[in-house]
Amino acid sequence: MNLAVELIVLILNELDIKAIHVCMRVSKSFNALIKNSFCLQYHITLLSHGFIDGPGYLSRYPTTSSRQQALLDTEDSWFNLRPRMTTAIKEGNRCDFARFADGVWATYGSHQGIGLCLTLSALPSILAGTGLEDLTIQSRIIKLEANFVDFGVEPRHDLLILVEKSTELPGLVSQPSLSMNHFDHTDRYLSYLFHLRTLSQNRRHPKASLEYIELCIPLPPTDGENDQHFLYEVSGPVIVILMALKRNGTLSRSYLRVFNWETGDVLLNHDGGDRIISSFAYVTTDVLMLAEYVTPLTSDGPAPQLTLWSLRTIDFKLRLVKLQTLRLPPVKDGKNFPEYKDELLTLDEFNIVADSGLTEDASSSSPLCPFRVDVKNRIFLVALKIYMVGLRDSDDHPEPITFSICIPFTTILKAIHSGQLLGDPAMQVLADDQNDFSSRAAGDYQRDVKSEECEHIGLDWEDWGGQGACLNETNTNSYDFSVSGMRCSYLHEQGRLIVMDFSPSAIKKGKDARPIDIGDVQLWPKRPRPGDLGFGSELFDIKTRGEEVLFVQTEHHLPHAEGVIIDMEHVLILNKHNVDVWMM
């Protein structure tokens, strides 16, 4: 059967990079067709860097070759960690707190002569060709009439979320799933209003039927003050909110809420009880990955673990259905977390760092950018910060040890379809009963589950991490990590910016790079490498390294930096007051 060349190119353009390489070995004619097609070569270049094509026609990029050249220039800048242009946001780091999303740097704080305000700064873009005239970043100030405890920006939806702590008992109109019975057992509660505004004009969002959505949390009967930490992400009309309570600097309780921010409907309530959800990330539009552990940690209880959940509509209600459990590496010498030799392991941070907003449709991405990150080719970073406390000397001041676990999307996908996919009745019952999300702890439900059945739920480290994950000792705070596509970055001690690139293109470039001769010694600064276990080889019982996930590491010295954030084409360097902006 003879097919037109154009039709063959269209078919090949739907394949992944491995399948295309197989096709190149089918025949000489296929090999020549793929090598001589600008369209297919651009497609291969995109996949090897972890991207997919962007909008159809762009006047700035009229041809396939112009798009490919833009991609190669950007990636070459990243590989050498040399910006093509630089600018700065003056006083951009003088604030109470800040957010960064889709090229917008937003800060909240008091401005001289104005009072409390929100400052929005749109970053210049080489790829989109915006803001390059004089590289002066123009900021817009929004005066605020009330004091807010947190905020979020979602430029894709022109959405500004302002979080206000309510001082009165919340009404039950916007949270019909709640009843007064939730407050019968305690007179202590927290109530927050999530105001839904437009980012462009700071007005009530036209897609939101309610001015705000209301979140009410009954506090556990404990003494002392509780600090609140929010984490939320928007995917289409759905917003997932994680609220974690901290007491004496330690997470003590967590609450997961899912709303439809356009209608104001409460889709899901979950109180973890003794099971703390410290972080979450979207894997796909309907799959969440949670970082979970039980407090207090005991040797006969479950160790910290990652869990994968599906958001499914069952009987016209959104349910949280468990897909898989991913256990972390076990402690050596047959010990159970938190026991290690003559010491106890204290979990200080357990966070998932990932790109946000990537699970949405291409129409929501930048309309001027010629390509975008492929959701199927990205990295999830799990930061695990541990203290080792000596049992004999309680006055010791232990140094923390931080490990990063970089997990490719494909590893998560394989894990979902591996092993026994058994649901966790504790979580499912809580998710099913929206009207009783706080009266019973997870442990009450867990007693109904056979212990031998629980022991076989999920995958051990060797079954999933050994099939494709990168464990690395990094020794930095979890908030110093940043992820964009297949790149992870963090600020190491003494101001060392480290960028880890997991893309196939960077690996190939690293393998082809030449060594640098320094005297009689040859250095390979770009050679692909696996993770450096460091002290992890002494702490964790890792039998085999499994399938090595390689990356190319690039470093840059930033002696005055307090933090670094990256996206597809920017590096934001947070200094004492200003924010330096690199355009790659």
The answer to whether 402 and 474 have CB atoms below 8 angstroms apart is yes
The answer to whether 43 and 13 have CB atoms below 8 angstroms apart is yes
Selected residue with higher pLDDT from 100 and 223: 100
- Which tokens is 166 given? 């309510």
d(CA 167, CA 94): 28
Write the CA distances from 471 to 119, 402, 468, 529, integer angstroms: 38, 11, 10, 12
Write the CA distances from 177 to 59, 253, 317, integer angstroms: 50, 21, 12
Reported as a pLDDT band with limits 50, 70 and 90, residue 292 is very high
d(CA 274, CA 253): 7
- Which tokens is 38 given? 């600008």
Mean pLDDT within 239-257: 85
Single-letter code of the amino acid located at 23:
C
What pLDDT is stored for residue 502 in this prediction? 95
DSSP assignment string, 48-116: HHTEEE--S-BTTB-SHHHHHHHHHHHHHHHHHT--SEEEEETTTT-SSEEEEETTEEEEEEEETTTEE
d(CA 465, CA 171): 46
Least confident of 9-18, 122-131, 454-463, 553-562: 454-463
User: Among 276, 166, 286, which Cα is nearest to 214's?
Assistant: 166
* pLDDT, tens only, 145-184: 889 999 999 998 999 999 998 765 544 444 444 433 444 4
What pLDDT is stored for residue 146 in this prediction? 86
* pLDDT, tens only, 468-522: 899 988 877 767 899 999 999 999 877 889 999 999 999 989 888 777 666 665 5
Mean pLDDT within 526-553: 81
DSSP assignment string, 436-495: -SSSS-HHHHHTTS-HHHHHTSSB-HHHHGGGT-EEEE--S-GGGEEEETTEEEEEEGGG
- Which tokens is 150 given? 């947190």
What pLDDT is stored for residue 431 in this prediction? 40
Q: Which helix (H) or strand (E) holds 137?
A: none
Selected residue with higher pLDDT from 308 and 530: 308
The answer to whether 124 and 130 have CB atoms below 8 angstroms apart is yes
Is the pLDDT at 329 greater than 70? The verdict is: yes
Q: What is the mean pLDDT of the chain?
A: 81
Selected residue with higher pLDDT from 535 and 521: 535
- Domain assignments of the chain as residue spans, ordered by start: 5-80
Q: pTM for the complete prediction?
A: 0.86
* pLDDT, tens only, 378-435: 999 999 988 887 654 554 567 788 999 999 999 999 998 876 554 444 444 334 333 3
Selected residue with higher pLDDT from 210 and 299: 210
What pLDDT is stored for residue 364 in this prediction? 46
Is the pLDDT at 312 greater than 80? The verdict is: yes
What pLDDT is stored for residue 10 in this prediction? 87
DSSP assignment string, 556-577: EE-TT-SEEEE-SSEEEEE-SS
Selected residue with higher pLDDT from 449 and 3: 3
How do 401-408 and 563-566 pair as beta strands?
Answer: unpaired
453-470 burial, b at 16+ Cβ within 10 Å, e below that, comes to ebeebbbebbbbbbbbbb
Reported as a pLDDT band with limits 50, 70 and 90, residue 343 is confident
Selected residue with higher pLDDT from 220 and 112: 112
